[in-house]
């Protein structure tokens, strides 16, 4: 699987997905996208936070869009059960 995902294993992929669901990461990403300092306390519009959340989630699950990656994961699961 690592060959197909640029070095990421199942644990790495799952960690990225969990991290992408963290509301604090949404704020960090939005501040970075807007060029704001991390300690800038200006309010962030809900629409901007939603866009940051969507961006992080899409980036986290992108490797799973590849059918070869999904197939490799299924093969690994089968090998572990045998």
Distance CA 42, CA 39 (A): 9
Q: What is the residue extent of each domain of the chain? A: 10-81
Q: Which pLDDT band holds residue 11 (cuts at 50, 70, 90)?
A: confident
Residue-averaged pLDDT of the chain? 83
CB 20 within 8 A of CB 30: no
pTM value?
A: 0.73
Residue 45: pLDDT above 50?
yes
What end-to-end distance do the CA atoms of the chain give, in Å? 19
């Amino acid at each position: 699987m690592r060959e197909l995902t640029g070095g990421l294993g199942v644990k790495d992929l799952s960690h990225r997905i969990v991290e992408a669901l963290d509301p604090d990461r949404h704020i960090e990403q939005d501040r970075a996208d807007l060029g704001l300092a991390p300690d800038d306390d200006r309010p962030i519009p809900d629409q901007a936070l939603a866009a940051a959340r969507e961006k992080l989630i899409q980036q986290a699950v992108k490797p799973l869009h590849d059918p070869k990656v999904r197939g490799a994961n299924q093969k690994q699961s089968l090998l572990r059960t045998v």
